Amino acid sequence: MNRKLSLFALPYAVWLAALVVIPLVIMAVYAFTTSESAATLENFTDMGIYASVFVRSFRLAAIATLVCLLIGYPAAYFMAGEGPGFQRVALALIMLPMWMNFLLRTYSWMSILENNGLLNQFFQKIGLFSLLTSMTGQEIESFQMLRTPGAVTLGMVYNYLPFMILPIYSVILKLDRNLLEAARDLGANSAQVFVRVILPLSLPGVLSGVTMVFVPSVSTFAISRLLGGGTQMMLGDLIEQQFLGGAYNPHLGAAISMVMMVIVVLCMALMNHFGEGEEQAVML
Amino acid sequence: MRKNRRIGSRFLIGLVFLFLYAPIALLIIFSFNEGDSGAVWKGFSLHWYASMLRNRLIIESVYMTLLVSLLATVIATFAGTFAAIGLYSLPRRRRDALLTVNNIPMMNADIVTGVSLCLFFVAFFQFWGGFARWFNDVQTAVRLPERLTLGLGTLLLAHIAFNIPYVILNVAPKLRQMDRNLMDAAQDLGCTWMQGFWKVMLPEIKPGIISGALIAFTMSIDDFVISYFTAGSSTSTLAMTIYGMTKRRVTPEINAVSTLLFLTVLILLVIVNIGEIQQERRKRNASPQDVPLGEKLRRFFATRAGRYTQWGLTAAGAVAFVLTVLFLTRETQSIPVVNVCSWGEYIDTDLIDQFEAETGIRVNYQTAESNETMYSLLKSGGADYDVIVPSDYMIAQLIEEGMLSELNYDNIPNFQLIDPRFRNLSYDPENKYTVPYTWSTLGVIYNPTMIDEPVTSWGALYDERNAGKVLLINNSRDAIGEALMYLGYSVNTTDESEIRAAYQVLDDASRRGVFQGKVMDEVFQTMEGGNAAIASYYAGDYLSMLENNEDLLYVIPDEGANWFVDAMCVLKDAPHMEEAEAWINFIASTEASLANMDYIGYASPNMEALEQYPAYYEELYGEPMDPELYEIMVTPPEVLERCEMYENTPSDIRALYNRLWIQLGI
């Protein structure tokens, strides 16, 4: 190809520098300065008090990722085993909710989980509460479901489950059928074929699914705000509070963003170390 | 046995779909609900669709979303394609380095991208401001705008920035597959480079470009976080509007919007799939699995449905173009505008229409959640308001920081109607900056059917017996102020130990699970629906809640309460000073004050309106107003005696408030 074509890369390199690199550098500058623009490490040393937010974010995101994996892997695996017509419809049905804004999907859970919401109304109708009341002696009128860690995790699973199913599905589809046959011919039973052939080969899909669920989960602020009702502060909320929320301090916010970024990158690097494949499935 | 397994696997897939679709189905069902609840069915109706279409905020944000997504997609596809071509003619080492940087926005959490872009834009604006001032000083031929704010431009840049990597990622594999000799051969055979590009390269990489464009468009449409940090206050995408709505009283208008969105996408998907099936029948090709998306699309575009879609896409491009032209003409047309920022549920919206009809000035009415969030928005450079309506203590802080501009009271004759007791208050002692908007008290709202004893003290908010039934107000000044009052301290104390003691009260209660959540305007929905028993909120809003839940009571606790004034001010260097003063004058008029009092339940500081309101009420509703309710709305002087107004606190105390407030959430 023509060497001169590489000139096309130049504007893009400039663009990348301006809108990717420099913003991150500015963020770093904010993180290491005070509002009087004096250099400081205070933003980082003060972060200890937010340890519990870090722990909560990573814990809830990890749980959500695990649940997504436990539901998503078998679903993707079974889907790949169906006929082409079924697959087409199933694929469309899984992608369809992704086109609807995630805030709408999250919002719909609010009216389901409220104390007077649909789920509690349902429990009331089937007499669950009177049963529990007579069993425990305490009067129980409703379950507090909204504004709990469980609700936030549910919101993450609900929103990001397709991101887990799709990459795993596309990797399993691309598996060489001959490999499976060969394994069976060599005497492996179905379980062995699955554990020793399919599972290792689908690992790249799993890894990209895990990334695509974990990263947005750990940094979310809208889901925790809507379903956690301000009681389940996550890293995303903490950062949002410092920029557009009720406690303006962009320097601290930038510092927290940086720490989060570094931890996430480390987690991802660690994971990619164990399974080499990554890119691919992102594009489906 | 095989069959059993198949049933088992289909059962699981069915469960996954049930999980994915049940909430969406509910959302759609309740968009047809007669009532305004998302959980109680009151009969079939289409009126939420009608009111959605009348909602200017929703319509404008749909328009904005389409505009930004289409423009960003077109630009990113174009730029990304050429960037990919350039990248693939680079030596490997340099290409890989650039690709790594290219992947950063995709790997990073959205919030990090959003925050870093926001900081970058604001830093750039500061730099630009300095440059433009210098430039305007040294020459007079060209005047550069000195004040830039976040808005459509930054939003578009941000969207292009996160779209390009996806385009590159889709075009790159096609380039890799292409035989490098093809272009050389074409040129050897006498093609110019341009011809070679059109005739040889483009057809090869077209599927990659199309799928890249589609993914970019999807990403743009679905994005919330990055837009939230880069759009500023006056530009709102649909996602941002929805987020704003979920924080206020939620109406089924949201359900109507989602239903329409869902149906649009569903229809598109069905068309695409039918096209695909037709195509396959004709070709009897292998199963769809090993066909890449780009190829699928190419084949799809060869079908009849595909041709329709292609027309559709062309039409979409044309629509984007028309939208842009319309937008630009609307922006450059000098329709006078005023940007107003106030609180949610805080104006009779008919007044906006009335003002626009009378003056021809267009009102961009936006809302913020609390004084603190509005302050953040102003500071982070995201706001381009003219008029804001902060509360007393925040006004004092803004004056102290030199962020307000002095008003010309000659342009605001209705200021003369303001009751003297609401003039020259401590936050603006010489009354140079403000015209009071409303005044009210902060007290306790409770639902006597849900708790045993009547509330008489702030202590009820922290009482373990009410565990799980209390809503804490979601802003630091009010929440800590209430605890200070409970302990018998002044709300304006600068004694750190007193503030820490108040924090301790909140922290203890929080640890014992007393608070169900922290809310601002979500309080309407939660208290009206009987989902919580006790909340602290403002008297005016109590009166609105009462219309939807007659059980609720409002009390000013024995320890006393906070009374406050929200006043209209104009930001320094506001671009629409004249329009801003016209708006303020209009709102301060007696007629507007009366309408507002009735609509939002807050007392006006307008003397005539205060006197006339009972008669106005009687004429409107055919019965006299309940004197008890009137006293809640227009707090009598002897009750105001027991209330304290917030004052501006020194910056170290403000920092302490912020720190404690964040700490409380963790």
Inter-axis angle of helices B92-107 and B56-88, nearest 10: 160
Under 8 Å between Cβ of B498 and B489: yes
- Cβ of A23 within 8 Å of Cβ of B518? The answer is no
**Contact check, Cβ <8 Å, B101/A20:** yes
Best of B11, B103, B119, B500 to disrupt the A interface (most A CBs within 10 Å) is B119
Task: Give the pLDDT band (50/70/90) at residue A175.
Answer: confident
pLDDT tens digits, one per residue of B471-501: 999 999 999 999 999 999 999 999 999 999 9
Assign B288 a pLDDT band (cuts: 50, 70, 90): very low
| Cβ contacts of B376 on chain A, cutoff 8 Å | 243-248
- HSE-CB for A180 with a 13 A CA cutoff: 16
> What is the CATH architecture of B53-250?
Orthogonal Bundle (1.10)
Is the CB of B180 less than 8 angstroms away from the CB of A74?
no
Q: Which residues from chain B sit within 8 angstroms of residue A87, using beta carbons?
A: 288-289
% of chain B at pLDDT higher than 90: 51
Cα B290 to Cα A79, B179, B266: the distances in Å are 15, 22, 25
Q: Which is nearest to B398 in space by CA: B418, B383, B413?
A: B383
Q: Do A165 and B16 touch (CB under 8 A)?
A: yes
Q: What is the mean pLDDT of residues B597-617?
A: 94
CB-CB: which of A4, A19, A118 is closest to B39? Answer: A118
Using CB atoms, which residue from A93, A116, A219 is nearest to B530? A116
Find the CB nearest B110 among A8, A101, A216.
A216
- Whether A237 and chain B come into contact, CB under 8 Å, resolves to yes
**What value, to the nearest 5°, has the Cα angle with vertex B442 and ends B607 and B564?**
45
Determine the distance in angstroms separating the CA of B183 from the nearest CA of chain A, rounded to an integer.
6
Provide, as residue numbers in chain B, all residues whose Cβ is less than 8 Å from the Cβ of A79. Answer: 13
Kindly report the nearest CA distance between residue A194 and chain B, in angstroms: 15
* Domain B337-435+574-591: assigned CATH number: 3.40.190.10
The pLDDT assigned to B219 comes to 87
CB B635 within 8 A of CB B539: yes
pLDDT above 80: residue B388: yes
What's the confidence (pLDDT) of residue B302? 64
Give the burial class of A101: count Cβ atoms within 10 A of its Cβ; 0-12 exposed, 13-18 middle, 19 or more buried: buried
Residue A245 touches chain B, beta carbons under 8 Å: yes
Q: What is the dihedral of CA B595, B598, B599, B604, to 10 degrees?
A: 70
| Stronger pLDDT, A244 or B409, i.e. the higher one | B409
Among candidates B24, B90, B105 on the partner chain, residue whose Cβ is nearest the Cβ of A108: B24
pLDDT of residue B244: 84
Give yes or no for residue B295 having a pLDDT over 70.
no
- In the prediction, which pLDDT does B306 show? 66
CATH 1.10.3720.10 fits A42-81+149-283, yes or no: yes
**3-state DSSP assignment of residue B388:** strand
Closest C-alpha among B489, B488, B535, B537 to residue B514: B535
Q: How remote is the C-alpha of B148 from its chain's centroid? A: 20
* Residue in A27, A174, A248 closest to B375 by CB: A248
| pLDDT-wise least confident of A51-65, B86-100, B242-256 | B242-256
Per CB-CB distance under 8 Å, the chain B contacts of A173 are: 289-290
Confidence bin at B333 (pLDDT 50/70/90): low
Q: What is the pLDDT of residue B129?
A: 87
Cβ contact, residue pair A121, B39, below 8 Å: yes
A16 touches chain B (CB under 8 A): yes
Q: Which two tokens stand for residue B608?
A: 């005539």
**What's the average model confidence in pLDDT over B511-537?**
90
Query: Can you give the pLDDT at residue B286?
Result: 47
Q: Parallel, antiparallel, or unpaired for β B643-644 and B435-446?
A: unpaired
CA atoms within 13 A on the CB side of B432: 9
The span from the CA of B522 to the CA of B471, in Å, is: 10
In this complex, do B26 and A279 lie within 8 Å of one another by their Cβ atoms?
no
Label residue B206 exposed, middle or buried (CB < 10 Å: 0-12, 13-18, 19+): middle
What is the average pLDDT value for chain B, to the nearest integer?
87
Q: Find tokens 């503030």 and name the residue.
A: B499
- H-run or E-run covering B252: none
Q: Do A99 and B218 touch (CB under 8 A)?
A: yes
Per-residue confidence (pLDDT) for residue B139, from 0 to 100: 86
**Cβ of residue A198 closer than 8 Å to a chain B Cβ:** no
pLDDT, tens digit, for every residue of B126-177? 899 899 999 989 888 888 887 788 888 999 999 999 999 999 988 988 888 8
Report the CATH number of the B438-567+596-665 domain. Answer: 3.40.190.10
The per-residue pLDDT for B536 is 96
Per-residue pLDDT band for A1 (boundaries 50, 70, 90) equals: very low
At residue B221 the predicted structure's pLDDT band, cuts being 50, 70 and 90, is confident
Q: Give strand pairing partners of B569.
A: B388
pLDDT of residue B329: 61
Q: How confident is the model at residue A277 (pLDDT cuts 50, 70, 90)?
A: very low
> Do the chains contact at A102 and B222, CB–CB below 8 Å?
yes
According to the model, what pLDDT value does residue A133 have? 84
- 3-state DSSP call for residue B364? strand
Closest-CA distance of chain A to residue B266, Å: 7
The residue-averaged pLDDT of A208-224 equals: 91
Q: Of B58, B101, B666, which to mutate for an interface test with A (greatest number of A Cβ within 10 Å)?
A: B666
Checking if the pLDDT of A19 tops 80, the result is: yes
HEC assignment per residue over B4-64: HHHHHHHHHHHHHHHHHHHHHHHHHHHHHECCCCCCCCCCECCHHHHHHHHCHHHHHHHHH
Cβ separation of B293 and A107 shorter than 8 Å?
Answer: no
Interface touch A158/B242, C-beta < 8 Å: no
A18-22, A266-270, B17-21, B566-570: least confidently modelled range: A266-270
Could A9 and B12 be called an inter-chain contact, meaning their C-beta atoms sit closer than 8 Å?
no
Predicted pLDDT of residue A155: 96
Contacts of A174 in chain B (CB under 8 A): 289-290
pLDDT at residue number B405:
94
Query: How far off is chain A from B512, nearest CA to CA, in Å?
Result: 13
Whether the per-residue pLDDT at B307 is higher than 80: the answer is: no
Q: Which of A108, A116, A93 is nearest to B25 (CA)?
A: A108
Q: How many CB pairs under 8 A join A and B?
A: 326
What number is the ipTM of this complex?
0.90
